[in-house]
Structures are given as C-alpha cells and as structure tokens.
Amino acid sequence: MKLFIDSADIEEIKQAVDTGIVDGVTTNPSLLAKSKIARQNKLSVHDYYEKICALVGGDVSAEVIATDYSAMVEEGRELANISPNIVVKVPMTQAGIKAIGTLKEAGIRTNCTLIFSVSQALLAAKAGAFYISPFIGRLDDAGQIGNGMQLVEQICDVVGYYGFTTQVLAASIRSLQHVEQCAEVGADVATCPYGVLEAMFKHPLTDTGLKKFLSDYAEAKD
C-alpha cells in the first residue's frame, strides 16, 4: 500500500518525505487555507503546488475550484501543466464525472474526491478516474464509527471484481487503526495526516525493548 501525506504544509511535507516512506501528497482547498507559508509568502496557488511537487517524487493531488464542466476541464488542464506529478482532484458531481472522462481522454490523471458511497465510486471508476477517494473519518462522523472503513472495503471489492484500473485512495484518515485496516482490506493508497504517519513508527514495546537492549549492552561492555 502506498502512503501519501494529506497536507499542504511545506514543512510538514518536507519532514514526512525525509522519512523516506512517503509516496505522494494530497492537498485540498481547506488544507491550503490552513497553510501558513502560502499565506505569508503570498505565493500564487500554482507556484505553491510547484513548490510541493519539487519536494516529492510521487503524485501530488491538486483540486479544481471550478464546479461546472467546462471550467473544471480548463482548470484541470492548467493544474496538470504545473508538473507531471500533478493529479487533478475533481469533486464527485455529475459535472465532475464528465470532466474526469474528458481529462482522461486528454491523458490527464484525476483523483475523484468526496466519495461517500459505492455508487459514487462505481461512477468515478467507470469515468476513468486514476484514483478514487472514499472519506473514512467524515463518513464515521456523519453516522456510525466503522461505516467509513466498511465503505473502503466494499469499494476495493467492487474495483477488484470488475478489474477497474482505478486505485482506491483512502482519505479522511484519523487514526493508526484506519491505516492498518486500509492495508488489511487492500486499499491502494492511504493518505494520512502527518501525526498518523508519525504514529505508524511507534509502539511502546519497541521503546521499552530498545531501552533494555541498550542498558544490557552497556552492562555487557563493563
């Protein structure tokens, strides 16, 4: 399973990439709005994406703001021109699905975002989205804990059953358990906030085990 960082914070992205385990980045307009560096340096959004692309070897999802079909396609083309790393993030709407088809014909990869049902995932896969992004945490927030993961599993099954080439990119990840369950059900990618990526390295038994090894070695030396 590929691991992406879900962030638009340059420092956080740099730190995550530095660990050597990050395969890509997903951003969204809310994450961009939170990014202090973008606001302080008053960079254009395109220049900001260029900066992010320069930090990672893998895919960087950049979202269109337009909501009508033609404007989405135009904006998608502009975003894709920034770098070959860019994957154009398109919301799951009727216009979005049509735009995904057109962008695919133009050789532009897309990430269909804001997916909350198997039907939506099926439509995005049929339209030719390169990635489809079910939102785990937000689905749990709106209903019952566990609904988000169940959806990821159902989508993985449907994609596998019909042999769609689309990759399931699990988003809105809030915990270590979410990432682990994504790996168990066969999601292609999990995009995680920095804190979750950091938590993946840790286990209390690793800490106590290492402490003991080091103290035993110090004793063995004397």
With binding defined as CB under 6 A, does residue 171 bind ligand G3P? yes
172, 148 contact by CB (below 8 A): yes
Count the residues of the shown chain that bind ligand G3P, applying the rule CB under 6 A. 9
Work out how close the CB of 6 gets to ligand G3P at its nearest, in angstroms, rounded to a whole number. 4
Residues 6+ apart with CB under 8 A from 98: 69, 127
Span from 35-43, 115-123, 133-141, 157-165 in contact with ligand G3P (CB under 6 A)? 133-141
Give the gyration radius of the chain's Cα atoms. Answer: 19
Q: Which of 9, 17, 24, 28 binds ligand G3P (CB under 6 A)?
A: 28
Decide if residue 120 touches ligand G3P (CB under 6 A). Answer: no
Label residues 38-72 b or e (16+ Cβ within 10 Å = b).
Answer: beeeebebeebbbebbebbebbbbbbbebeebeeb
- Per CB under 6 A, does 191 bind ligand G3P? yes
Indicate the residue among 49 and 102 with the shorter CB distance to ligand G3P. 49
The one catalytic residue in 36, 89, 126, 212 is 89
Active site residue 14: no
Question: 6 or 9, CB closer to ligand G3P?
Answer: 6
Q: Which value, to the nearest 10 degrees, does the dihedral of the CA atoms of residues 125, 129, 134, 138 take?
A: -130
Dist CA 183 CA 5 (whole Å): 16
Binding positions for ligand G3P, rule: CB under 6 A: 6, 26, 28, 135, 137-138, 171-172, 191
